[in-house]
Amino acid sequence: MKNSSIEMLQEYEELHEADILIFNTSYWKHRDTDFEKYANNFPAVSPKAAEFIRKNLPNCKAVAIDTMSIENLEEAKRNGYFVHHAFLDHEKYEEPTMLIYEDINPAPLIGKKLLSAFTAPLRIKNHDASMVNIIVEVEE
């Protein structure tokens, strides 16, 4: 799913009801077996898709992805980390900011319906990011 497109997102019926979007690119499978592959040239959310999510999905409060970053890092260096800002910038957009979870393992969720999720971040003073544990409730 290199640079997730808006059309790909719109294929999902539940899209407008979701309060978290989890991108399962299957790259999590490489994390323990081929970290070099996992850490380089991974799939990402495109700038257009990020802006679409922020502007058109009012229920969405967070996005998560099974790669090292929500965006293509080479592209991000050139465009000022547009994707991160599309989710996090509170001045450019009227819509509420969204949390970003990166480097997740969606394997336990595959084939199950996610009922609820919350996170338990480390409390680090004067920082804007942290490792978190994501706790979920699924319908078996």
pLDDT digits (tens, 9 = 90+) for 119-130: 888 888 888 788
Predicted confidence (pLDDT) at residue 2 exceeds the cutoff of 50: no
CA 124 to chain centre: 22
Element (H, E) at 9: helix 6-10
> What pLDDT does residue 129 have?
82
- pLDDT of 118 reads 87
Q: pLDDT for 18-52, tens place per residue?
A: 999 999 999 999 999 999 999 998 999 999 999 99
pLDDT for 1 equals 38
Share of the chain above pLDDT 70, in %: 97
Count of C-beta atoms within a 10 Å radius of residue 17? 10
**Backbone angle region of 129, left / alpha / beta, with phi > 0 → left and psi within -120 to 50 → alpha:** beta
Which tens digits make up the pLDDT trace of 74-85?
999 999 999 999
Greater confidence (56 vs 10) lies with: 56
pLDDT at 6: 85
